[in-house]
Structure 1
Amino acid sequence: MKYIGMMLLCCWLSGCTTHTFILSNKTSVLADEQAQHYFFGGIQQEQQTKAADICGGIQRTVKVETKFTFLDLLIGSATFGLYTPMHSFVYCLN
């Protein structure tokens, strides 16, 4: 039973996902953070983050990142995947 519990814990902890899109290597600042809401594990759902609109143009956009934070994973686990939040971060030139 301990072995199964440890395996489930390892699978749960390794579920952290981060997607990073780097458009430039210039110095940046966090311009916007958005919580995105998915239901049923995000199956057949999509959210858009318009980084160019947030930064004032594509030339000022440095990086876009989406990830599950620890709290997102905790909420997703507590609801058994029925509700799964995710956060997106947009970084612009300072």
Structure 2
Amino acid sequence: MNKIVAVALLAILTSGCATQNYLLSSSEAPSTSVQPNAEKMQTFFVSGLGQEKEIDAAAVCQGQQNVASIQTKSNFINIVLGTISNGIYTPRQISVYCK
């Protein structure tokens, strides 16, 4: 029992959150105080192997010229869900920021 707890604790402590910012018309990534115009959880299976998900940021911001940045990230909940399912279910958060 102690080994299982130790392995689970080690897995949680060695995992980290990951964020990718795609800057389209802004020179810096959005701060945590700026609220996204759209936020959605995208689901992937088998760690997203060979899968693609798309979001129409131009439709969210009413035009391609109004898109400031797009951010994808794995937060603590996403990592826990991926760990519990052993990588079978691996969600990610996507946020769209408009000008």
**Class of the TM-score when normalised by the shorter of the 2 chains:** 0.7 to 0.9
Partner AA of 1:42 in structure 2: G
Could you tell me which of 62, 67, 75 is aligned with 1:61?
A: 67
- Give per-residue Cα distances to partners, 1:47-77, cap 9 Å, x unaligned: 0011111101111111100000111001111
Q: What amino acid sits opposite 1:38 in the alignment?
A: F
Any conservation in 2 of the 1:29–1:92 contact (CA below 8 Å)? no
**1:24 alignment counterpart:** 25
Structure 1 residue 87 displacement after superposition: 0.6
After superposition, the C-alpha distances for 1:25-45 in whole angstroms (9 at most, x for unaligned) are 389751100110001110011
Percent identity at matched positions?
A: 29
Gaps (5+ residues) in structure 2? none
* Residue 40 of structure 1 pairs with residue 46 of structure 2: yes
The two structures have a TM-score, normalised by structure 2, of 0.76
Letter in 2 for 1:75: L
Structure 1 SS opposite 2:90: strand
> Where does the alignment leave 5 or more consecutive residues of structure 1 unmatched?
none
Question: What does 1:62-81 align with in structure 2 at a 5 Å threshold?
Answer: 62-81=68-87
How many residues get paired?
A: 89
Which has the larger strand fraction? 1
Normalising by the residue count of structure 1, what TM-score does the alignment of the two structures yield? 0.80
State the match for 1:49 in structure 2.
Answer: 55
* Alpha-carbon distance in structure 1 between the residues aligned to 2:93 and 2:35: 17
Q: 1:8: how far off?
A: 4.0
